[in-house]
Amino acid sequence: MASERDPSVFRTSLTDLVEELLAHEGPLPIVAAGDPVLRRGAEPFDGQLDPNLLARFVAALRATMHAAPGVGLAAPQVGVPLRLAVIEDPAPVSEEVRRARGRVPQPFRVLVNPSYEGIGSGRVAFFEGCLSVPGWQAVVARHTEVRLTALDEHGRPVDEVFSGWPARIVQHETDHLDGTLYLDRAELRSLSSNRATSELWAQPTPEHAAEALGFSLPD
Ligand code: ZN
């Protein structure tokens, strides 16, 4: 027989879930597309993990992101349905790519309960990939500039404008928390294996890919 749900039950289960993940050595296992945890909206963070556990979890997310390697990782990607993500990008790219994509270094950040809105109507399209969709990349047109509102890991409010590649990372990771994968927004005809991307589509911008594969780019 069903009974009233005790809020402390869910609280305990999230703590147990994270403790269980942290009990194993090394990077956390990354959940791949097809797992419903990537498609449900994540629960806003509201102290479900105590500060010590939150700090350990954030450190594990960061280590997992580094090991992958990736430039962002959202909690649902390790099976934890909380609105929490980490981003960091040393941007090891050529000057030409840096200029074309606005891929400037992004210091490590923790995003708690993030949301974003586009600023203006500008959109830019580039190949991107996702640690939860290994082996593939596709072109996604995204807001050129976004305003991000969030909390940091200490609960302090964040209200900041991101542009260039960091804006792309912020949109990609925040989308994860809403159950959206980059493929939902991608030009599917651009879908390319990692090998094809590196062998054929390593140019700073995706114009050649658009022509050869038959998809359109924003004006
Ligand atoms: Zn992703």
pLDDT, tens digit, 9 for 90 and up, residues 71-121: 999 999 999 999 999 999 999 999 999 999 999 999 999 999 999 999 999
Buried b (16+ CB within 10 A) or exposed e, 106-116: beebbbbbbeb
Question: How far is the centre of ligand 1, averaged over its atoms, from the C-alpha of 207 (Å)?
Answer: 23
Please list the active-site residues: 173
Question: How far is the centre of ligand 1, averaged over its atoms, from the C-alpha of 188 (Å)?
Answer: 16
Rounded to 10°, the helix 51-67/7-22 angle is: 40
> Is residue 157 classed exposed, middle or buried when 0-12, 13-18 and 19+ CB atoms within 10 A define those classes?
exposed
Residue 98 domain-assigned (yes or no): yes
Question: How far is the centre of ligand 1, averaged over its atoms, from the C-alpha of 141 (Å)?
Answer: 15
Residue 146 domain-assigned (yes or no): yes
Residue 1 domain-assigned (yes or no): no
Residue 219 domain-assigned (yes or no): no
Question: How far is the centre of ligand 1, averaged over its atoms, from the C-alpha of 99 (Å)?
Answer: 23
pLDDT at 219: 82
Average pLDDT of 135-139?
98
Domain CATH code at residue 154 = 3.90.45.10
Residue 2 domain-assigned (yes or no): no
Q: For residue 139, is pLDDT > 90?
A: yes
The parent domain of residue 56 ranges over 7-213
Average pLDDT of the chain is: 95
Confidence category of residue 7, pLDDT binned at 50, 70, 90: low
Tell me which residues have their CB within 5 A of the ion that is ligand 1.
Answer: 130
pLDDT at 6: 56
Question: How far is the centre of ligand 1, averaged over its atoms, from the C-alpha of 5 (Å)?
Answer: 32
Number of domains in the chain: 1
Residue 92 domain-assigned (yes or no): yes
Whole-model pTM above 0.75?
Answer: yes
pLDDT, tens digit (0-9, with 9 covering 90-100), for 10-39: 556 999 999 999 999 999 999 999 999 999
